[in-house]
Structure 1
Amino acid sequence: MVTDTISDMLTRIRNANLLKHQIVQIPTTKMSLAIASILKEEGFIEDIKKYEENPNRYFIILLKYKGKSREPVIQKIKRVSKPGLRVYSGINNLPQVLGNLGIAIISTSKGVMSNFTAKELGIGGEILCYIW
């Protein structure tokens, strides 16, 4: 049993990217689905497909590559807030990832969102990860 589902999800995506796999299978949780939908909105992955094998529920992420050399769109994923050390940010000091070329995924009181959406809404929260 995995205790940190977000780290597990990010590690699965990172490993699949290194091996240039087309798909990644991830156990379904509300948080991992929310993170995957943000990655799809921001253009880091192609699609998300849900499926169920009793009693387990999974979803599949279709990874995105560019060019004939299949260069991964996701260059790096970094987990920021961990179960042992939570990292929070207010509206005044929301992170900018690579000069706004990447995104930070933030868990707020209004749900999980990117740093751009949180800035528009004027709210801060727990910084889950950086992706570029």
Structure 2
Amino acid sequence: MISSVANMLAHLKNCTRIRKSPIHIPYSKFKLNLALAFERHGYIKKVSLLRYNTNRSEILIELAYSGKYNMIQNVVQISKPGQRIYWRKNHLRDKHRVGVYFLTTNNGIKMNLDPTCVGGEVICGLV
């Protein structure tokens, strides 16, 4: 069984490779917050919520491009349902880590380069 976050990340990766935009993803509160975090840091152009009725909603994502290049080159899921990965503050700014990582914290979803991030569960990385 594949998790819904893994499904979202695989969908983003595949759509950036074929330059498809907009993308429709099934709604969940966590996936919406993750997409809004990507938008806040400039990896996604626009995120909106489409409500069809009380039981069915979708997230509409427009990808961001810099010229002819995608802002999201490769997205990797780090923490999985069977194995959760947690980082403390000293692991966040390790010189050997390449890329940007998104973590869940008490204050919402943060990026590892954010100075207010003190650690949490690592969701995914853009490497």
Same amino acid, percent of matched pairs: 27
Deviation at 1:37, TM superposition (A): 0.9
CA contact (8 A) 2:78 2:122 kept: yes
How many residues of Structure 1 are paired with residues of Structure 2 in the alignment? 124
Structure 2 equivalent of residue 71 of structure 1: 69
CA distance in 1, matches of 2:91, 2:83: 18
Provide, for residues 56-113 of structure 1, a one-character-per-residue CA deviation record: whole Å limited to 9, x for no partner. Answer: 110100011232xx32111110100000111001111115552xxx421001122211
Which amino acid is the alignment partner of residue 59 of structure 2? F
Structure 1 equivalent of residue 22 of structure 2: 23
1:115 to 2:112 alignment: yes
Which amino acid is the alignment partner of residue 8 of structure 1? N
Deviation at 1:122, TM superposition (A): 5.1
Structure 2 equivalent of residue 14 of structure 1: 13
My pick for the range that moved more, 102-111 or 43-52, is: 102-111
SS at match of 1:50: strand
CA contact (8 A) 2:110 2:117 kept: no
Structure 1 equivalent of residue 119 of structure 2: 124
CA distance in 1, matches of 2:78, 2:69: 25
Aligned-pair Cα RMSD in Å: 1.7
The runs of 5 or more residues in structure 2 that have no matched partner are none
The runs of 5 or more residues in structure 1 that have no matched partner are none
Normalization by structure 2: what TM-score?
Answer: 0.88
